[in-house]
Amino acid sequence: MPMGDRGRVVIPQAIRESQHLQVSNSLLIFEGPSGMSLLTRDQLEAHVYKNLKDPQTRLSDELIADRRRAARLEADDS
């Protein structure tokens, strides 16, 4: 898939159809260690929930629990 002079790319019709992409869809691009990823918001949300320790737990709850564990370790070290 060639990139145009303004950095634009055209997603092939077969992929647009298989992914049910519409003209109004927002796409997000991420750069990671293995390259770039292009995701819809729904795909990103599914990816995030899949990688949570417990999908029923809110991310904020996990962050608070992690910080409390770190604080306990810091207190034990002093």
| Residue 1 belongs to a domain | no
Residue 48's domain comprises 13-77
Question: Does the structure show a pLDDT above 90 at 46?
Answer: no
CA atoms lying within 13 Å on the CB side of residue 18: 5
The pTM score is: 0.53
| Residue 71 belongs to a domain | yes
In the block, residue with structure tokens 């929930």: 49
Give the pair of three-digit tokens for residue 38: 């292009």
Average pLDDT along the chain: 86
Q: Are 44 and 28 in contact (CB under 8 A)?
A: yes
Supply the pLDDT for residue 60.
81
- Predicted confidence (pLDDT) per residue in 20-41, tens digit: 999 988 999 989 889 999 999 8
Question: Does the structure show a pLDDT above 80 at 44?
Answer: yes
| Residue 56 belongs to a domain | yes
